[in-house]
């Protein structure tokens, strides 16, 4: 009986030791999982001051979502992809050319921007000339051999007012195809100067960033 009692006590002691070891292993595994979760959160979310205890989970989720959106935002060569880079439209190109780009000889102007400016410049020239003709007709300057003062005056003022914007637009168009703006004086070459500038204006935009500026908005980038 004594041997049986001793054997039973030894078996119970061994069982208790196994249970104790299993409990310790479970606690260690739980601690490791908790540490791994904390490290993952710290790595994936941007650091910042801790919010109040009641809003901790919501704030962490919002911060992680914002961080992921910034990382996933697409990028273009030479230009960040943003909604603010939308094209202004044909009239917008002309209006921007005679306002904010009035004295702008830097940067680039894509082919569409150049020809949109030329289109509305010609329409405006016809309108100004028409106003001058009607004014001269009303004053009787067209009845005799007198000089149509209003027509000539408005025509000259229009050309003078739009000379610098047009020059800047042409210089930026040359930059857009990878050429220097100092090539503009070739327009002074008799017979062929204007034709050379016309050919330059018809060349497509360079699809990559060059020494003058990044790729204009609305142009596909070539990596």
Average pLDDT, the chain: 76
Tokens standing for residue 206: 């360079």
Percentage of residues in the chain having pLDDT higher than 90: 47
pLDDT in tens, 131-189: 999 998 888 878 777 788 999 999 999 999 999 999 999 999 999 999 999 999 999 99
3-state secondary structure at position 142: coil
Check pLDDT > 60 for residue 50: no
For residue 118, name the pLDDT band (cuts at 50, 70, 90): very high
pLDDT digits over 78-102, tens only? Answer: 333 333 346 788 999 999 999 999 9
CA dist., res. 203 & res. 65, Å (int): 44
Please tell me what DSSP assigns to residue 11. H
Nearest to 161 by CA among 91, 92, 103, 93: 103
Please report which confidence band the pLDDT of residue 61 belongs to, taking 50, 70 and 90 as the band edges: low
Q: Domain segments of the chain: what residues?
A: 2-73, 80-202
Helix 56-72 to helix 2-44 angle (10° resolution) is 50
Contacts of range 120-126, beta carbons closer than 8 Å, 24 or more positions apart: 120/90, 120/91, 120/94, 121/94, 121/162, 121/166, 124/158, 124/162, 125/155, 125/158
pLDDT at residue 218, as a whole number: 74
Which stretches of 67-205 are assigned E, i.e. beta strand? 75-76, 79-80
Confidence at residue 190, expressed as pLDDT on a 0 to 100 scale: 93
Evaluate if residue 112 carries a pLDDT over 80: yes
185-212 pLDDT, tens digit per residue, is: 999 999 899 999 999 999 999 988 999 9
């Amino acid at each position: 009986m004594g041997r049986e009692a001793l054997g039973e006590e030894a078996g119970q002691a061994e069982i208790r030791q196994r249970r104790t070891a299993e409990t310790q292993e479970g606690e260690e595994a739980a601690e490791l999982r908790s540490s791994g979760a904390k490290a993952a959160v710290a790595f994936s979310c941007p650091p910042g001051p801790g919010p109040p205890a009641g809003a901790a989970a919501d704030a962490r989720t919002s911060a992680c979502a914002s961080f992921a959106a910034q990382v996933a935002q697409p990028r273009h060569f030479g230009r960040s992809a943003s909604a603010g880079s939308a094209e202004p439209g044909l009239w917008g190109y002309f209006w921007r050319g005679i306002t904010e780009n009035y004295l702008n000889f830097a940067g680039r102007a894509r082919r569409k921007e150049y020809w949109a400016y030329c289109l509305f410049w010609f329409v405006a020239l016809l309108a100004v000339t028409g106003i001058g003709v009607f004014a001269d007709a009303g004053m009787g300057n067209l009845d005799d051999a007198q000089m149509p003062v209003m027509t000539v005056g408005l025509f000259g003022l229009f050309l003078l007012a739009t000379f610098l914007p047009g020059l800047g637009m042409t210089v930026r168009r040359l930059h857009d195809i990878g050429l220097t703006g100092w090539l503009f004086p070739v327009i002074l070459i008799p017979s062929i100067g204007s034709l050379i500038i016309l050919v330059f204006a018809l060349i497509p935009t360079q699809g990559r960033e060059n020494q003058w500026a990044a790729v204009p908005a609305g142009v596909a980038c070539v990596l």
